[in-house]
Amino acid sequence: MSMNVGSGDSDGEDAVMSEINTTPLVDIMLVLLIIFLITSPVVLHLQKINLPQEENQALKTTPEDVNIVVNKDGEFWLNQTKLADTDALFELLKKEAVKLPQPVVHVRGDQDVRYEFVGKVIYTAQRAGIQKVGFITEPPDKM
């Protein structure tokens, strides 16, 4: 008495499996990952350092600071006073440049102002002998 186990095919050949067995591949990859995680600190010889912490400090303005505003139309304002052109700005900055200590010039440019107008302000400050020029920007919103 015999028993027939398998498919009902009469040709008796084994059926070919059409799927790929990925289990051995996953096992090998996990072993390699563990080996790399263990050996990478030894190979890299990492140094222990303390990185600086980020601090965003608000600008503390003093009455001596010179604030220049350039609006989107290219008009110059110095400490809330509208200036006719860069020659008037030059004369006022030349007076500020001889003070000790020399005041810091803060440039506030509109977002839509052409670079040409801000460049004129920087060039005029340089000609007048101003040593420190800073740009005031709006910090990005925190998410």
pLDDT of 142 reads 65
Which residues share a beta bridge with 68? 78, 107
pLDDT of 89 reads 93
Q: Which residues contact 88 (CB under 8 A, 6 or more apart)?
A: none
Please identify which residue in the block is written with the tokens 């910090």: 139
Q: Phi first, then psi: give them for residue 67, nearest 5 degrees.
A: -105, 120
Peptide bond into 101 cis (omega under 30): yes
pLDDT of 130 reads 93
pLDDT of 127 reads 95
Question: Which CATH number applies to 66-135?
Answer: 3.30.420.270
Tally helices (H) and strands (E) across the chain.
Answer: 3, 5
Query: In a 10 Å sphere around its CB, with 0-12 CB exposed, 13-18 middle and 19+ buried, how is residue 68 labelled?
Result: buried
**Which residues, given as ranges, of the chain have pLDDT below 50?**
none
Q: Which of 140, 58, 53, 69 is nearest to 105 (CA)?
A: 69
In this structure, how many other beta carbons lie within 10 angstroms of the beta carbon of residue 54?
Answer: 5
Please identify which residue in the block is written with the tokens 């990492």: 46
pLDDT of 79 reads 78
Q: How far apart are CA 72 and CA 136, in angstroms?
A: 15
Q: Measured at the alpha carbon of residue 58, what is the angle toward residues 53 and 64, in degrees to the nearest 5? A: 135
